Amino acid sequence: MIILVVNTGSSSLKYQLIDMKDESVLAKGLCERIGIDGHMNYKTDEGMVFDKDIALPDHGVAMQLVIDALTDKEHGVISDMDEIGAVGHRIVQGGYLFDKSEIITDEVEAGIEELCTLGPLHNPPALVGIRACKKVLPNTPGAVVFDTTFHRTMPDECKYYAIPWEYAEKYHVQRYGAHGTSHRYVAQRCAELMGKNPEDLNIITCHLGNGSSITAVKGGKCYDTSMGLTPLEGLVMGTRCGSIDPTVVSFIYEQTGMPVKEITDMMTKKSGLLAVSEISADCRDICDAADKGNRKAQIAREMLLRSVKRFIGAYAAELGHVDAMVFTAGIGENDIDLREKVCDYLGFMGVTIDKEKNDCRGQEVDITGEGSKVRVFIIPTNEELMIAKDTQALVESM
Ligand code: ADP
């Protein structure tokens, strides 16, 4: 089956066409600046076919142009849109309504709509993407894969905040986590690489990118994760502060009169590594500046290392026994120095890595050192493949 995976943002639409026969990517690309001026690229096996400004007044037009590119006589990878067996959509917030991926029905769409309060930035454009797809591919089944469902197995003591129950009961205030599709993919892949059943393993998965989260995976299921009601909780990130004392919000409000929404915005978009380093949200820039002796960049770097170590340490304690650790996403896959420093620190847990094997970027590698009590892997994440796999399974069971 050939599956089109779609990830819609408010002004963007990422797509990937995957042939599930061998899990190969036939084509992929990005439409951006939708509703502004429009830009689109399209890549196949042969590399970039086009990367150009093109009018994209809405997501419907973008979707049609994707289908046109995929079926183009010269550069297309399929001859007809009927060759697309199903469409899989990435949905960020599945909230309290969805515990697994689903075939799109009116009820499912209504559920995603209801959850717009919890995912105000992501769920509305995802719905636009689903509707645009339905128009362009009216006879093709669609499925939705949520970033949150992997975390629905968290036990109550991890899922809820220690505040009065009424906030969870009336307003659904609880920990939903994020990056679930990525954590699920790398945990499954880690078990495959170890030749073991996921049920028999405790794995700590570290998705470290612009947004970062760490998950404790116990027997193939999420036991705890660092993000909470929103992706602001947890580690120090590119522009997000991560976990802080919540009274910081009321204190800043009292001192400055800044509205709560603006304080949240400041903590989401103007904090984290960017705020501390006063240089950049990008780890590479921070490392360069830190190496040259910039004190604020050094503090930003140390804060990131501290938060990664803290969550791994906490989850090791919660799990009681750790079989493996995985590093993934931009920083996890590429930041050799971070992996080395974090793993050296975890020596007290019996973690050692092979420094030569660790000297690589963006590759799937077992970097476990000799005699290490915990296996350590770099596994490039592949959320699109996970979405395609779920979509195929759902469509085949229809
Ligand atoms: P997003 O969360 O937006 O998907 P990514 O997973 O692409 O982000 O991660 C972006 C982060 O990865 C940036 O902080 C960037 O600095 C970091 N990164 C990418 N390449 C390297 C590298 N070679 N060394 C260190 N960090 C890197």
Type of residue numbered 358: N
- If asked whether residues 203 and 321 sit together in one domain, one would say yes
- The answer to whether the CB of 335 is under 6 A from ligand 1 is yes
**Separation of alpha carbons 78 and 103, rounded Å:** 24
Q: Is residue 183 part of a domain?
A: no
- The answer to whether the CB of 238 is under 6 A from ligand 1 is yes
Q: What is the pLDDT of residue 338?
A: 98
Contact 119, 93 (CB under 8 A): yes
- If asked whether residues 37 and 104 sit together in one domain, one would say yes
Active site residues: 147
Angle in degrees, 0-180, between the axes of helices 295-319 and 336-345, rounded to the nearest 10: 50
- If asked whether residues 50 and 118 sit together in one domain, one would say yes
Ligand 1 atom having least distance to the Cα of 212: 2
- The answer to whether the CB of 270 is under 6 A from ligand 1 is no
Instruction: Give me the CATH number covering residue 265.
Output: 3.30.420.40
Q: Is residue 187 part of a domain?
A: no
- If asked whether residues 137 and 247 sit together in one domain, one would say no
**For atom 2 of ligand 1, which residue has the closest CA?**
210
Spans of the chain below 50 pLDDT? none
**For atom 21 of ligand 1, which residue has the closest CA?**
334
Test site for ligand 1: of 147, 277, 283, most ligand atoms within 8 A of the Cβ: 283
C-alpha 56 – ligand 1 centre gap (Å): 28
The count of other CB atoms within 10 Å of the CB of residue 4 is 28
- The answer to whether the CB of 329 is under 6 A from ligand 1 is yes
Q: What is the pLDDT of residue 61?
A: 94
Q: Is residue 262 part of a domain?
A: yes
Place of tokens 């094997």: 357
> What's the number of CA atoms in the CB half-sphere (13 Å) around residue 6?
32
- If asked whether residues 222 and 125 sit together in one domain, one would say no
Contact 349, 323 (CB under 8 A): no
Q: Is residue 24 part of a domain?
A: yes
C-alpha 286 – ligand 1 centre gap (Å): 12
Test site for ligand 1: of 226, 335, 338, most ligand atoms within 8 A of the Cβ: 335
Last residue of one domain, picked from the residues 146, 175, 209: 146
Place of tokens 């903590």: 267
3-class SS letters over the chain: CEEEEEEECCCEEEEEEEECCCCEEEEEEEEECCCCCCEEEEEECCEEEEEEECCCCCHHHHHHHHHHHHCCCCCCCCCCHHHEEEEEEEECCCCCCCCCCEECCHHHHHHHHHHHHCCCCCHHHHHHHHHHHHHHCCCCCEEEEECCHHHHHCCHHHHCCCCCHHHHHHHCCCCCCCCHHHHHHHHHHHHHHHCCCHHHCEEEEEEECCCEEEEEEECCEEEEECCCCCCCCCCCCCCCCCCCCCHHHHHHHHHHCCCHHHHHHHHHHCCHHHHHHCCCCCHHHHHHHHHCCCHHHHHHHHHHHHHHHHHHHHHHHHHCCCCEEEEEHHHHHHCHHHHHHHHHHHHHHCCCECHHHHCCCCCCEECECCCCCCEEEECCCCHHHHHHHHHHHHHHCC
- If asked whether residues 215 and 358 sit together in one domain, one would say yes
**Separation of alpha carbons 235 and 102, rounded Å:** 30
Q: Is residue 158 part of a domain?
A: no
C-alpha 333 – ligand 1 centre gap (Å): 8
Burial class (CB in 10 A: 0-12, 13-18, 19+), 101: buried
- If asked whether residues 115 and 204 sit together in one domain, one would say no
Which positions ≥6 away from 328 have C-beta within 8 Å?
Answer: 182, 186, 205, 206, 207, 208, 378, 379, 380, 381
Last residue of one domain, picked from the residues 146, 181, 205: 146
C-alpha 282 – ligand 1 centre gap (Å): 7
- The answer to whether the CB of 102 is under 6 A from ligand 1 is no
Q: What is the pLDDT of residue 251?
A: 97
- If asked whether residues 225 and 116 sit together in one domain, one would say no
The residue range of the domain holding 201 is 197-383
Q: What is the pLDDT of residue 10?
A: 84
Q: Is residue 172 part of a domain?
A: no
Ligand 1 atom having least distance to the Cα of 381: 6
How many domains does the structure of the chain reveal? 2
For Cα atoms 111, 114, 120, give the angle at the middle one, nearest 5 degrees: 120
What the block records as the tokens of 269 is 């978009």
Q: What is the pLDDT of residue 82?
A: 95
- If asked whether residues 302 and 375 sit together in one domain, one would say yes
What the block records as the tokens of 188 is 């499954």
- If asked whether residues 140 and 217 sit together in one domain, one would say no
Q: What is the pLDDT of residue 9?
A: 87
Contact 185, 382 (CB under 8 A): yes
- If asked whether residues 42 and 131 sit together in one domain, one would say yes
C-alpha 331 – ligand 1 centre gap (Å): 4
Q: What is the pLDDT of residue 369?
A: 98
Q: Is residue 166 part of a domain?
A: no
Ligand 1 atom having least distance to the Cα of 283: 16
pTM over 0.85: yes
Q: What is the pLDDT of residue 241?
A: 97
Q: Is residue 156 part of a domain?
A: no
C-alpha 161 – ligand 1 centre gap (Å): 30
- Residue 298: phi and psi, rounded to 5, are -65, -40
- The answer to whether the CB of 235 is under 6 A from ligand 1 is no
- If asked whether residues 220 and 78 sit together in one domain, one would say no
What are the pLDDT digits (tens) for 268-309?
999 999 999 999 999 999 999 999 999 999 999 999 999 999
Q: What is the pLDDT of residue 320?
A: 96
**For atom 3 of ligand 1, which residue has the closest CA?**
210
Ligand 1 atom having least distance to the Cα of 285: 16
Last residue of one domain, picked from the residues 111, 146, 181: 146
C-alpha 338 – ligand 1 centre gap (Å): 12
Q: What is the pLDDT of residue 366?
A: 98
